[in-house]
């Protein structure tokens, strides 16, 4: 009961097993510089000392070799168990690495006769990394699929900045650097700014219109634009349904530049080489400014206040903010000062 027809791990070849392990979990630790990068701890796995099946034994050898080669942290289950019941009858935990009977006698991988000892000792003797973890660039994905994604403690402390809307805000110390053509996803990072770009004060600007777009700064003629105030940059956005409601901007700790380029992604991805930060909107086109640009804008709803489909971010300008083409409802997102 409850068993599926899917192959078990022991039915896979060595290469198939390694591919499955990476696809299902270990890619998170293997790929650095992504919004999903994190340590992985494998818990829990085990096999019986009395196992005689060739497939099961081969699986154990392959798995422990994989963990050893990648210095992957793990938990074995169980480490210690009984080889007999309280009355001394054989009824113990065959999977335990060390087993004790009712008289206190031990059997297991330390006692010479356990076939698992070779693979276990090879795994424990493998080279391992120790010491402080090197500092790396941080990346985070924003999504409002099911709830708010306000990752900034400073923003939370300031209260609700767009009541009734779903809100997404980058973690403290980061800024919005990428957006998706659909799905309303965002990509945040703190790389390239030498620390937190935000000023020490708690000021912020909720932008809903074009009041901050300079008369001589129309970088997308025919588009409606939403722009952060001078020397502020974008850390968040809000949505009502599929329509963007507002942009959240905060002051920078130093003056920001004013030159840049327009990045279009309405017909395909437009991202820096190697896609820094990783895939953040599976199935949607993604636009991303190259670090260390900062993004002072976010999508704007159509002038009519209605929306016929999902928000579509079509382009990004990596120096000013964002706009929308009224004739087709597409949105242009401007991203950061160079």
Name 276's Cβ contacts closer than 8 Å, sequence gap at least 6.
33, 137, 139, 189, 191, 288, 291
Q: Which residues partner with 277 through β-bridges?
A: 34
CA distance 196 to 179: 21
Strand, coil or helix: what is 69? Answer: helix
pLDDT for 304 beyond 50:
no
Would you give the distance in Å from CA 294 to the centre of its chain? 20
Q: Cβ–Cβ contacts within 10 Å for residue 221, how many?
A: 7
CA distance 182 to 314: 9
Closest CA to 323 of 221, 232, 172, 238: 221
List b or e across 35-70, with b for residues whose CB sees 16 or more CB atoms inside 10 angstroms.
bebeebebeebbbebebeeeeebebbbbbbbbbbeb
Q: What is the pLDDT of residue 317?
A: 54
SS (H, E, C) 149-207: EECCHHHHHHCCCCCCCEEEECCCCCEEEEEECCCCCEEEECCCCCCCCECCCCCCEEE
CA distance 253 to 213: 21
pLDDT for 161 beyond 60:
yes
Contact (CB, 8 A) for 167 and 156:
no
Contact (CB, 8 A) for 197 and 172:
no
Global confidence as pTM: 0.76
Lowest model confidence (mean pLDDT) among 29-33, 68-72, 286-290? 286-290
CA distance 57 to 49: 10
pLDDT for 308 beyond 60:
no
Average pLDDT, the chain: 81
pLDDT for 35 beyond 70:
yes
**Average pLDDT of the segment spanning 64-71:** 94
Name 292's Cβ contacts closer than 8 Å, sequence gap at least 6.
191, 192, 193
pLDDT for 74 beyond 80:
yes
pLDDT for 10 beyond 60:
yes
210-253 pLDDT per residue, tens: 888 878 877 666 766 778 888 888 899 888 887 778 889 999 99
Instruction: For residue 118, name the pLDDT band (cuts at 50, 70, 90).
Output: very high
SS (H, E, C) 29-50: HHCCCECCCCCCEEEEECCCCC
Q: What is the pLDDT of residue 184?
A: 84
CA distance 80 to 104: 12
Q: Cβ–Cβ contacts within 10 Å for residue 116, how many?
A: 21
Name 25's Cβ contacts closer than 8 Å, sequence gap at least 6.
40, 42
Closest CA to 178 of 49, 42, 279: 279
171-184 pLDDT per residue, tens: 999 999 888 877 88
Lowest model confidence (mean pLDDT) among 26-35, 82-91, 203-212, 294-303? 294-303
**Average pLDDT of the segment spanning 69-84:** 91
Lowest model confidence (mean pLDDT) among 96-100, 161-165, 254-258, 289-293? 289-293
Contact (CB, 8 A) for 334 and 297:
yes
Instruction: For residue 121, name the pLDDT band (cuts at 50, 70, 90).
Output: very high
Lookup result for tokens 């087993």:
99
CA distance 335 to 210: 15
Contact (CB, 8 A) for 236 and 169:
yes
261-280 pLDDT per residue, tens: 677 787 899 898 988 999 99
pLDDT for 189 beyond 70:
yes
For the chain, percent of residues with pLDDT exceeding 70: 82
Q: What is the pLDDT of residue 326?
A: 34
pLDDT for 139 beyond 60:
yes
Q: What is the pLDDT of residue 155?
A: 96
């Amino acid at each position: 009961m409850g068993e599926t027809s899917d192959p078990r791990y022991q039915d896979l070849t060595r290469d198939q097993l390694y591919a499955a392990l990476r696809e299902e979990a270990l890619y998170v630790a293997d790929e650095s510089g992504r919004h999903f990068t994190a340590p992985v701890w494998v818990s829990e796995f085990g096999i019986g000392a009395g196992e005689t099946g060739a497939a099961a034994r081969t699986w154990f050898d392959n798995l422990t070799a994989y963990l050893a080669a990648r210095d992957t942290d793990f938990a074995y289950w169980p480490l210690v168990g009984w080889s007999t019941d309280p009355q001394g009858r054989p009824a113990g935990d065959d999977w335990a690495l060390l087993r004790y009977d009712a008289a206190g006698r031990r059997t297991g991988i330390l006692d010479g006769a356990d076939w698992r000892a070779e693979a276990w000792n090879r795994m424990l003797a493998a080279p391992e990394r120790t010491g402080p973890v090197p500092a790396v660039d941080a990346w985070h994905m924003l999504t409002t699929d099911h709830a708010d994604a306000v990752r900034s403690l400073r923003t939370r402390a300031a209260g609700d900045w767009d009541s009734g809307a779903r809100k997404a805000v980058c973690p403290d110390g980061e800024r919005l650097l990428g957006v998706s053509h659909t799905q309303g996803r965002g990509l945040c990072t703190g790389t390239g700014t030498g620390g937190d770009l935000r000023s020490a004060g708690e000021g912020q600007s909720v932008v809903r219109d074009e009041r901050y777009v300079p008369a001589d700064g129309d970088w997308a003629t025919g588009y409606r634009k939403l722009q952060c105030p001078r020397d502020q940059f974008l850390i968040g956005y809000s949505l009502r349904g599929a329509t963007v409601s507002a942009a959240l901007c905060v002051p920078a700790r130093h003056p920001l530049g004013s030159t840049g380029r327009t990045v279009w992604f309405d017909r395909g991805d437009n991202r820096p080489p190697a896609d820094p930060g990783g895939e953040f909107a599976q199935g949607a086109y993604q636009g991303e400014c190259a670090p260390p640009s900062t993004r002072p804008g976010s999508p704007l709803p159509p002038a009519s206040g209605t929306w016929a489909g999902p928000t579509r971010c079509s382009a990004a300008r990596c120096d000013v903010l964002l706009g929308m083409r009224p004739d087709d409802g597409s949105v242009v997102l401007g991203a950061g000062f160079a």
